[in-house]
Amino acid sequence: MSPSWLMLLHANTYLWEYPLDLLPLVLLAIVPARRILRDAGALADEAPHPFRGETPRARHRPGRPAGRPMRWASFSPVNGPTGFPRLWAQTRRVSRYGAGTALIVVDVQNDFTDPDGSLYVPGGEAIVPVVNAEIDTATAAGARVVYTQDWHPPSTPHFAKDGGRWPVHCVAGTAGAQLYPRLRVVGPIVRKGISGEDGYSGFFQRDPVSGETVATCLDADLRAAGVARLVVVGLAQDVCVKDTALDGRRLGYDVTVVRAATRPVERCPGDGARAFAELTAAGATLE
């Protein structure tokens, strides 16, 4: 047998019989390697785990601004672990839907969504991809998708020109009343404000003069389909989305409003924040 094979056999026998003798050498090799990996940012041993709830601690590393937290050093219930908001949003979307859930897409219409619309909601067009993602996830999970649509007559006490609050918008049959062309439509549409009512909620219409309310078909249709939980998105967050979600809570549904899939019109500054506070107080979930 050659000397090289004898040396290999001897070394193998030694390792088998005396493994602890080499432990200090192994540790001497591991510790510097670990320090190098840590300093390079690949080993986040000093960063708190995002799901344990510890207070995040920033740590300076070469090439990283002092005080900046590490990739896993913070966690948000809305955006998830730092650096993974898209994956977290997808996970949250999937968990929202099931056979007993309905996605209510509120008034994503040209007059609200298009910058040239008569009652444009700032940023309204930006929510359409988010709403479409919710629609895709809901349909894949077997959930029901329902759309609401303002459908006003040319003259109504709802409009400022007739003594109401709002500029003329979403007049039946006009381009402004149509659903936004980039919105994915896969379910039934509930029209509101047809006879001049204030069609703020998808569940009820209110006569702006007498105050009398009339139910739409939405609640009856949802109950017939066995729906117990609503996810509400659309426009505007501080008007029709808020009123639809609040009426959903009053009718006994579990209600979730997706923050990223709605925008406020804010006729008065702070209306959006007040709407979210009112929804929270009513027991709705904001995600």
Residue 65: both structure tokens together: 């601004």
Q: Cα–Cα distances in Å, from 115 out to 154, 214, 265?
A: 21, 32, 12
The Cα 157–Cα 167 span in angstroms is: 11
**From 107, 150, 219, 247, active-site residue:** 107
The question of whether 242 is a catalytic residue gets the answer: no
Torsion 111-117-123-128 (CA) sign: positive
The question of whether 39 is a catalytic residue gets the answer: no
Per-domain boundaries in the chain: 3-79, 84-286
**From 240, 242, 243, 247, active-site residue:** 240
Which letter, b or e, does each residue of 189-200 get, where b requires 16 or more Cβ atoms within 10 Å of its Cβ? ebbbbbebbbbb
pLDDT number for residue 211: 85
- Fill in the amino acid letter for 284: A
**From 111, 150, 170, 192, active-site residue:** 192
The question of whether 192 is a catalytic residue gets the answer: yes
Residues paired with residue 257 on neighbouring β-strands, in sequence order = 232, 286
CATH architecture of 84-286: 3-Layer(aba) Sandwich (3.40)
Average pLDDT of adjacent 10-residue blocks, the chain of 287 residues: 51 50 52 52 44 44 50 50 54 79 98 98 98 97 97 95 95 98 98 92 91 94 97 98 98 98 96 98 97
Residue 185: both structure tokens together: 């439509």
pLDDT number for residue 59: 44
Nearest to 136 by CA among 174, 96, 192, 176: 96
Q: For 76-102, give the DSSP string.
A: ETTTEETT-HHHHHHHHHHHH--TTEE
